[in-house]
Amino acid sequence: MSGATIGVGMVGYAFMGAAHSQAWRTVHRAFDLPVTPRMAVLCGRDRAAAEAAAAKLGWASVETEWKRLIENGDVDLVDICTPGDTHAEIALAALAAGKHVLCEKPLANTVAEAEAMAAAAAEAATRGVRSMVGFNYRRVPAVALARRLVAEGRLGDVRHVRAQYLQDWIVDPEFPLVWRMQKDKAGSGALGDIGAHAVDLAQFVTGSPITGVSGLTETFVTERPLVASSAGLSAEKAAERGPVTVDDTALFLARFADGAVGNFEATRFASGRKNALRLEVNGSAGSLAFDFEAMNELAFHDHTEDPELGGFRRIQVTEPGHPYVAAWWPPGHGLGYEHTFTHEVRDLLAALAAGEDPEPSFADGLQVQRVLAAVEESAAASSVWTRVASGATGAG
């Protein structure tokens, strides 16, 4: 960091890159922070496309090689918005170079990569170099409120967790074979892409890690049309189809360290569900429920109240006292998806300025990766109960 500013270099500029750019542009205008981000460098392989994206998104300069971005003296923090197969290499190089890192989820494509990243992050922290994994849904005000209610004991002992992430964007079998459907690039399908969010959300809200799972995965459409635009294919070649090498849906049962049990579902084949990330937590003294498609609301039931007047209440999470909300609009004027990323970088910058490790850490990302790996292992073995690895090396 230079004075009161921090130079940011971002690798990737598509969906996540646009969302992150919005956050870097707006965070210091919404929140009073001790440091101001400077959008220094955007990196993309195609210079013309990267320059167009930089002009649109607000970046000062462009690189076509991520290694040169890391070497750039104007860059203090590297923001990784690329497919999962590149996360480890970029993050490890950035941390070794003394750059702070924000890495999109899931942390990596394999447990081994995530372990290496978490170890490097722990070592870098001893040098004052910080890192964070981008589980943005933690920054939904209603989710932060849910965590607070559980931590305050309003639900009593947590007993049952239900988590779903439902989408429908690949229901059409003619939807093209994008990188998210290729295991060598994405690591897994619905399990890692959206199931990772459900896992992190459940562990974050309950404050308890998942220790064991029994999983089932399925691929409904096994071949899809090749992508002409990204692969440089002719129209004739694009008519060909390629194999889908990841899951379309994943379901699993889980046990938590605190004794709670859970059931999880992640699918991109739920017709009519666009971005239904749902969480329900049932405890001995109450319950809560959240659905991102109604992201400004939280349902809460206090089981200690008179049953004749009891039931779920709808909390509109838009009051100034609710997490993050005071920086924005008057009560009742809801927030949106993009605000979660602004809150994410707000918390990251505040931690960097205070010399603290931000959350979720690479260690948190590794824990999620271990859960995903255990689900895949269980599914491959006919849903046998599988322990989630723990420890620095994953050796139990």
- Are the CB atoms for 247 and 191 separated by under 8 Å? yes
Q: Identify the band that residue 78 occupies on the pLDDT scale cut at 50, 70 and 90.
A: very high
> What integer pLDDT is reported at residue 227 of this predicted model?
78
Q: What percent of the chain has a predicted confidence (pLDDT) above 90?
A: 94
Q: What is the CATH number of domain 5-137?
A: 3.40.50.720
Residue 314: strand, helix, or coil: strand
Q: Is the pLDDT of residue 191 over 90?
A: yes
- Computed over every residue of the chain, the mean pLDDT equals 95
Q: Which fold has domain 141-294+296-335?
A: Dihydrodipicolinate Reductase; domain 2 (3.30.360)
Q: Is the pLDDT of residue 231 over 60?
A: no
User: Which ranges of the chain would DSSP assign to H, the alpha helix?
Assistant: 15-30, 47-57, 66-71, 87-96, 111-125, 141-151, 183-186, 190-193, 195-206, 228-231, 235-238, 337-354, 362-380
- Are the CB atoms for 344 and 136 separated by under 8 Å? yes
The closest alpha carbon to 315, from 333, 292, 289, belongs to 289
The closest alpha carbon to 270, from 174, 164, 167, 165, belongs to 167
Question: For 310-320, how does the pLDDT look when each residue is reduced to its tens digit (9 = 90+)?
Answer: 999 999 999 99
Which residues of the chain form CATH 3.30.360.10? Answer: 141-294+296-335
**DSSP 8-class letter at 389:** P
Alpha-carbon distance 81 to 68, whole Å? 16
> What integer pLDDT is reported at residue 391 of this predicted model?
77
Q: Is the pLDDT of residue 76 over 50?
A: yes
Which CA distances in Å does 89 have to 92, 109, 125?
A: 5, 11, 18
| CA quadruple 37, 330, 275, 351: dihedral sign | positive
Question: For 131-187, how does the pLDDT look when each residue is reduced to its tens digit (9 = 90+)?
Answer: 999 999 999 999 999 999 999 999 999 999 999 999 999 999 999 999 999 999 999
Which residues of the chain form CATH 3.40.50.720? Answer: 5-137
